[in-house]
Structure 1
Amino acid sequence: MQLETYISDLLYRYECVTIPNFGAFLTQRVSATIDDNTNTFYAPKKVVSFNEQIQKNDGLLAHYIADIEKIPFEIANKKIAKRVKILKSYLTQGETLTFKNIGEIVFNSEGKILFEPSYHLNYLTDSFGLTQFVSPLVTREVYKEEVETIEKVIPIAVTTEKRKTRPYLKYAAIAFIALTLGGLGASKFYVNQIETHNQLAQEEATKQLDSKIQQATFSLNPLPAITLNVTKQTGNYHIVAGAFRIEENCDKKIKQLKADGFSPRKIGVNKYGLHQVVYGSYETGAEALKAIREIRKTHNKDAWLLVKKLD
C-alpha cells in the first residue's frame, strides 16, 4: 500500500491528515515571500509539518483508502495499522522514513521524531503555475555617485559677469519663444482643418452605405436542421493540465490536448488571474484518481487534482 500517495492526495484539500497511532501531517498557508539576499520571489504555498502528539483516528485516511481500493472501512484500518507497525520498526532501527513529496522522518538521539519537509510540491492549489523567479538588483545609487564624482572633477558654474557680456542670448530666447507660440497656433489651426475634413468625409461615406443597404435585396434559403449530441462534463473533481496568464496560450493547450486524444476544456479564471485548462471533470474521487495516475504516468507528471464546485 502506497500510504504516502494517499496522504499526498489528501493534503491538497485538508489541513490535517492523521495516521492513527503514529502522528499527523499538518499544512499551514504561507504568503508570498522575498529573499533579500538572493532577490528571489516565492509564490504563496502550504508548509507541511508533522505532530506526533496527534494520533487519534479521525477516519479521514481510512475512508479515503476504502473508497479508492473498494474495500471495507475496517479492512482499511487494519492495513494502516500494519503499515504503522512497519514504519515504527524502521524508526527504532535508526532508518529514515521518506514520504515522497511530503518529507522525511527520523528519530533523534533523544528518541524524538524529527521531520524535514520536502519543498518539491506546493499543496496550495491556488498557486499552481506560479514559480519562483529572481529579480536583478537595482543600482540607482551607483549612478548617483558617478554623477557626483563627475561634478567634482568638472564643476559647472554661471557667473553674473558672463551673462552681461552675452546680451544677444536674451534676444535669441525671446525670438525662440515667439516662433514657438506662432508654430503652435498654426499647428492647432491645421489640425482643426484636418478633423473637419475627416468628419465630413465620414458623414458622406455613411450616407452612401445607407443608400446601398436600402437598395439591396437579400434572399435567405432555410437550411436543414442539424442535431448535435453534446456531452457536458460534470463533477467536482478536475484534473488540471495547466494555468496561463494569456488566454491564447490556454486555447493552444486545449488544441494540443485534443490532438493527443483528450477532451479538455476551460474552467474559468482563478483568483490570480490565470486561465485554467483541465483534462476532464469527474463525479467521484475514485474516477479522478484513476485518471490522474494514468495521465501522470503517460502524459504529464505535473498534472494535479482540483476539487471545486463550478458555477
Structure 2
Amino acid sequence: MNLANYINDLLYRYDCVIVPDFGGFVTNRIGAKLNSDTHTFYPPTKQIAFNSHLTHNDGLLANYIASSEQISFEKASTAISLSVIKWQNELQNTEIKLDNLGTISLNESKQIIFEPKKEVNFLTSSFGLTSLESSAIERYRQEVKPLIPVVASTERKSVPAFIKYAATAAILLTLGFAGYNSYEQNQQKEVFASQQKELEKKIQTATFVISNPLPTLKLNVVKEIAKPYHVIAGAFQIAENAEKKVNELILKGFNAKIIGVNKWGLTQVTFDSYADKNDAINNLNKIKKTVSKDAWLLIKTSK
C-alpha cells in the first residue's frame, strides 16, 4: 500500500494529515506574489511542511483508507503501522521519496528532515493557475506645461458698473422664484393633509362584516421522541456510498438512515436509532452476531 497517495489526497481537503507514531504533514497558505527581479507572478499556493511532534492518531487517515479500500478501521490502522515501520527502517540507511509530497531523511542528530516538492500546489482554488512572466515596464516622467499662461499682475482692474447692476438683478430674480416655489409647495402640502384626514375618517367609520366565518382548525401535534442511541453500520468518505449502504440495510429490514457527518468529514450510517440505552445495546449485540462484527454504539446527546 502506497501510504503517500492517501496523504496526498487528504491534503487537498484538510490542512493537516497525521501519520500515527511518525508525524504530521501540515499545509501553509501563501498568497500571490511577484518577483520584481524576474518580473514573474506566482498564484496563491498551499505548500506542505512536516511536524514530527504531531503523532497522536486522530483517525482521519485510517478512516479514509478504510473507506477507499472497503476494509475495517482496524485493518487500515494496521496497514499504516506497517508502512511507518518500513519508513523508519529505510531512513536508517537512505532518504525516502514520497510521491507528490517530497523527500524525508535523517540529519546527524537522527531528526527527520523534510524537503517538500514545491511544484505541487495543494490549494484547490488555484487549480489550473501557473506562474506568469511579464516583460519589464519602463515608465517616463514628463513635465506638464500649463495650457493657459499665468500672467502676474499687481494692478486691480475695476469692474464696470453695468455688470454690478446685472448681477444684483439676477440675484433678486432668483430669490423671487425661490419664494414663489416655496409658497406653491406649502399650498400643495396643506391640500394633501386635508385629503388624508378625510380618508382616515372614512376608514374609521367603515364596518366590515363577514357573513360566512372560516371554521376553526384543530391540529394534533405529536412530539417526536428523542433517540440519542445509534447502532453505527459504517462511516463513508463519499456520500453516495453512504446512501447505497442505507438502501442495502433497508432491503434487509433495518430502519437505516444517515445521521450526519462526524468531525473527520465522514458520513455516518446507522442500522437503527433507539430512545432506550438497553434496547440499543441488546440490538447491537444481536447485529454483531448476525450481520456485522464492526457495528458499534454512538451516543449523541442534544446540546
Q: Which has the higher helix share?
A: 1
Interval of TM-score (by shorter of Structure 1 and Structure 2): 0.3 to 0.5
- Please identify the structure whose Cα radius of gyration is greater: 2
Normalising by structure 2, report the TM-score: 0.47
